[in-house]
Amino acid sequence: MQRYLAQLRSISRHGTPKYEISNAIGGKYYDYRIIAAHDYDKERGDFFGPCTDEEDFNNILRTPALPDGFDSTGHNIMFTHSDINMRNVLMHNGRISGIADRENSGWFSDY
């Protein structure tokens, strides 16, 4: 599993993106941490961003329930699955054969 995750995180981004934190194609992203902490907005739907930088992303993560802890910046931004769990890991004959459910994938802080 570690090898598969390392491969995902090693995907490089080409060019200079307009938004540092985004979904896989540079647009809005879905993040369970944010959805759980914010009221639903009919115009926005369930998606946030994209964010110009990590500070912008941290401002979205910060909520009245979690006002602190999202101040650090300078993390590496890398490609992340964002929903890795056992129901998304495909197995065949006791070996990993694939990773599914990538709609939450995107470019996020390395933590």
Distance CA 91, CA 24 (A): 25
DSSP secondary structure string for all residues of 18-41: S-SBEETTSS-B--HHHHHHS--B
Mean pLDDT of all residues in 62-74? 76
Whole-model pTM? 0.81
Mean pLDDT computed over every residue of the chain: 88
* Residue 90 scores a pLDDT above 90: yes
